[in-house]
Amino acid sequence: AQSVTQLDSHVSVSEGTPVLLRCNYSSSYSPSLFWYVQHPNKGLQLLLKYTSAATLVKGINGFEAEFKKSETSFHLTKPSAHMSDAAEYFCVVSDTGGFKTIFGAGTRLFVKA
């Protein structure tokens, strides 16, 4: 069975400081993993995806995530937060066959000036 856990419901950082959004997953198969961002009253946008290629994945807007199989983690990071990064972030796991996609509960990122 698949599951995904976002360890923090809210994260607050100051502008210019690093961002870390944590995600742990559970999957019986080799999963595909994604991070999506949702700005208020908008649909979701893909930040990055892991599909069994390089374990360090670079995405848009300076975000990156590292797939760690031994820790079953796929944490999202960014070296320096910007005010425009304030949004909700979703970690997503999908099985190899694409038959099941599960979204995490989301982490709301607040960025203080």
User: Which residues bind to another protein, rule: CB under 8 A?
Assistant: 31-32, 34, 36, 41-46, 49, 51, 90, 94-106
Least Å distance, CB 44 to another protein, is 4
19 or 106: CB nearest another protein: 106
Least Å distance, CB 106 to another protein, is 6
* Cβ contact 108:40 at 8 Å: no
Q: In whole angstroms, what is the distance from residue 1 CA to residue 100 CA?
A: 10
Least Å distance, CB 14 to another protein, is 26
93: helix, strand or coil = strand
55 or 96: CB nearest another protein: 96
* Cβ contact 23:89 at 8 Å: no
62: helix, strand or coil = helix
20 or 105: CB nearest another protein: 105
Q: In whole angstroms, what is the distance from residue 20 CA to residue 25 CA?
A: 16
